[in-house]
A = this chain, B = another copy of it.
Amino acid sequence: MLDFTATYTDQYQITMSQVYFHKGLQDEIAVFDYFFRDLPFGGGYAIFAGLEDVLEAVMQLRFDGKDLALLQNEGMDAAFLDYLQDFQFTGTIRAVREGDLIFPNRPILSVEGSIIEAQLLETLLLNTLNYQSLIATKASRMWLSADGRTLVDFGLRRAPGTGGYAASRAAMIGGFDATSNVRAGRDYHLPISGTMAHSFVQRYDDELEAFRAFAEIRPHDCVLLVDTYDTLEIGIPNAITVGHEMEARGEHLKGIRLDSGDLAWLAKRSRAMLDEAGLDHVKIAASNQLDEHVIKSLLEQNAPIDLFGVGTSLVTGRPDAALDGVYKLAFANNEPRLKRSENIEKINLPGRKQVFRLGYPDGSFYGGEVVALADEQDIEVMYHPTEPEKSLALERFELHPLLHPVIVDGARTTEPQSVQEIAAFSQAQLRQLPEEFKRFENPHRYKIGLSKALQDERDRLVQEHRA
């Protein structure tokens, strides 16, 4: 859907590149790391999403004629414009698998290439990964709450413009079953779902007439919206009438949808009325300002809801609105780099790195990871990043490397994955995470440690900067 060109970026990426170009640095190798600092929603984990979209965009990223005309108009010189005309990404990207669990302050993705090409990817990466990871994480929390019930994305109308397109994809990665967003369903091969709107009922003088029309033309996926006038007095009785008429024709009413009022109470009363009418196969769908907390509460009240339709809070990632992912220089000018900070927690990790997850032989996760230099072997101990007296011996764990090459020297090295494959992987990973990291209130804190070699490297550079 999206025609990305290399101007899908911040202006300073291009001006800094112009400086590098004229200072003869266009072939200098640089490494940038993508990571974030705070878990969204006060949760204990996040889900990595957006990678396949990024890789697809990176592989075709060029400055087109309109881009070059604009940059010329903005005063860029001819030699640099010539360089940009031939621009394509020829570097290497290593990344965590899309759908995997991610945690703060350790690399999620690393770009190695010329300093110009690595810089020119920054905004596209941040824009795509920050948003999709936020939405997949939000969706995952609802998936935990829904405990096996069906989740459908209804968010497009309240989505942030065309961001809603990727939101539907990210929702599926986090565990949603379907989306109302037809175009996203088309392009990402997602299951599409929907019911009926109040306007449909309002168009008719009588709700029953509206229900009959819908059942006649769409007998195989007939979900009736029952709250336009009065759910229990009018809507459910009319749905029962139509349900019986469909049975008489050998058809089955699929469901009813509640979109207002006290959903727990209405679902219980509706269920009882449907069951009493012999329509116990008719499902109950609910929507209206749902989020992971409301879904959890409804199920704690034993509300017999089979399907949740979620809109605004899903596609906006409310209340957090943005993942604070950043892209920091870790290597350039033939040396590891760091950004000094008064706050040692904000100092980035220098050089090329690998991340290992600590696992048990049965496949379950301990709840921690160690960040090491990329070429390190046999890491025996991990150290707290800012309190070096705290350490953890690693001999009892299996160490699973998390950063895998996905583009090498400008060529993709992995097969594109479907959203369904990514979602299945994500849910399998989440199952291995101990429960304490998944609770909503004060989740257990996942441990991120450093290898001795990485810690020494960082401390050496801090000393050098102080000198």
Contacts and interface: CB of A to CB of B under 8 A. Distances in A.
Contacts of A74: 192
A386 interface: no
Contact of A333 (B10, B25, B203, B218): B203
A137 interface: no
A248 B317 CA distance: 52
A200 interface: yes
A182 B9 contact: yes
Contacts of A32: 199
A7 B1 CA distance: 11
A168 to B, nearest CB: 11
Interface in A1-56: 1-3, 5, 7-16, 18-20, 22-23, 25, 30, 32
Contact of A218 (B15, B161, B164, B337): B15
A196 to B, nearest CB: 6
B131 A194 contact: no
A196 B163 contact: no
B156 A130 contact: no
A128 interface: yes
A318 B316 CA distance: 10
A218 B19 contact: yes
A229 to B, nearest CB: 6
Contacts of A200: 16, 19
A127 to B, nearest CB: 6
A336 to B, nearest CB: 11
A12 B196 contact: yes
A420 interface: no
A3 B1 contact: yes
Given A159-B131, A162-B165, A182 B338 contact: no
Contacts of A7: 182-183, 186
Interface stretch (A142-150, A321-329, A353-361, A449-457): A321-329
Q: In this complex, which of A25, A156, A157, A220 has the most chain B Cβ atoms within 10 angstroms of its Cβ?
A: A157
A116 B165 CA distance: 23
Contacts of A158: 126-127, 130, 322, 324
A18 B218 contact: yes
Nearest to A164: B127
Contacts of A328: 198-199
A59 interface: no
A392 interface: no
A23 B198 CA distance: 18
B160 A123 contact: no
A124 B115 CA distance: 40
The 3 closest A-B CB pairs, nearest first, are A163-B163, A11-B194, A160-B163
Given A8-B156, A131-B163, A161-B166, 10 more contacts: A23-B217, A66-B186, A67-B186, A127-B159, A127-B162, A130-B158, A131-B160, A160-B315, A161-B167, A199-B329
24 contacts: A7-B182, A9-B183, A11-B192, A12-B195, A15-B218, A16-B200, A18-B218, A67-B183, A67-B186, A122-B157, A123-B156, A127-B159, A131-B159, A131-B163, A161-B165, A161-B167, A162-B163, A198-B328, A202-B337, A202-B339, A203-B333, A316-B316, A318-B321, A321-B321
